[in-house]
Amino acid sequence: MRSIAIINQKGGVGKTTSAVNLSAALAEAGYRVGLIDLDPQAHASLHLGVGPAPGEADPKPTTYQLLTGDVPLDEVWQPVGENLLVASSHIDLAAAEVELAGVVGREVILRDALAEMKQDLDFVLIDCPPSLGILTLNALSAVDDVFLPLQPHYLALHGLSKLLQTIDLVRRRLNDRLKLAGVVRCLYESGTRLAAEVSDDVAAFFQEAATGNTAWSDVRLFETPIRRNIRLAEAPSHEQSIFQYAPQSAGAEDYAQLAKEVIALYADVVNPSAKSSILP
Ligand code: ADP
Ligand code: MG
């Protein structure tokens, strides 16, 4: 099993869209995928139709109970389609920071929950909130790898060093296998000079940063940019992944192509229980 946290402390850069649609693409390709929603806004859960229904009589436990109530992951998963499980979020999770303040080992609750999980999954993806608080720390402590979605504009790299420092600190103190594995360009305006320039800047930034033994010495810039595509923005309101909502769209094409790169990246460690495939 390979676990990947999708992290950027900025909002609106494509974290949730990537977490949902990459999970869906991997599931469609025959991998068993678990998507953990760690954002109190629950956008990934809502996107896939497993979001919190207001006033529900007997609601399923969420990642809030997982982190604060000792509820195992196996009781939180909800199936979405054949190969995809979602651990949904709830606005209550916003209080986790405060509620966990005095708890010993609060940064590693998710790590322990994943270790005790009984499901046999190929990939676990974690959609993180736009902050570097206790929720993101739990994700960083739990996963093998980080994917960083970036929106290529001229401030894309601004604030990145704080994120990289955090990743490195977690690697040294809590999770020695953690590394920043990939950068995904999202909301990409193909054909613009800006997109090309920022792509060059990002590549140069990580090349420079890769000197020395850090958590990002082996990062790759994924070749596939996720183009700006209105279908990707529409899909959440239909509670569908892009592959259900608009399988012929540029958005579906891009996430399927990105999934191919991800599958290739992990070919040595993750074997598919392959069945049908949406990947061309
Ligand atoms: P984050 O999780 O980082 O805050 P989101 O994935 O929620 O970012 O994306 C922010 C907004 O942009 C959402 O409304 C989403 O639907 C939209 N969006 C994300 N990626 C694309 C894209 N490639 N093309 C068009 N809209 C997108
Ligand atoms: Mg989000």
Q: Indicate if the pLDDT at residue 94 is higher than 90.
A: yes
Give the type of residue at 268: D
Instruction: Say if residues 84 and 51 touch (Cβ distance below 8 Å).
Output: no
| Per-residue model confidence (pLDDT) at position 173 | 95
The CATH fold of domain 2-265: Rossmann fold (3.40.50)
Query: How far apart (Å, rounded) are the C-alpha atoms in residues 266 and 253?
Result: 20
Looking at the CA of residue 230, tell me the nearest atom of ligand 1: 25
Closest protein CA for atom 14 of ligand 1: 233
Q: Is 16 in the pocket of ligand 1 (CB under 6 A)?
A: yes
Confidence of residue 237 (pLDDT cuts 50, 70, 90): very high
Sign of CA dihedral 164, 170, 171, 172: positive
Reported ipTM exceeds the 0.95 cut: yes
Confidence of residue 275 (pLDDT cuts 50, 70, 90): very low
Q: Look at 102-106, 210-214, 224-228, 234-238 and tell me which has the smallest mean pLDDT.
A: 210-214
Q: What is the rounded average pLDDT for all residues in the chain?
A: 92
Residue 74 corresponds to which tokens in the numbers above?
Answer: 């196996």
Q: Indicate if the pLDDT at residue 280 is higher than 70.
A: no
CA of 13 to the centre of ligand 1 (A): 6
CA of 212 to the centre of ligand 2 (A): 31
Q: Taking residues 84-106, report their average pLDDT.
A: 95
Q: Look at 11-25, 168-182, 264-278 and tell me which has the smallest mean pLDDT.
A: 264-278
DSSP H helical segments within 188-267, as ranges?
Answer: 193-209, 230-234, 242-245, 250-265
Tell me: the pLDDT tens digits for 107-123? 999 999 999 999 899 99
CA of 37 to the centre of ligand 2 (A): 9
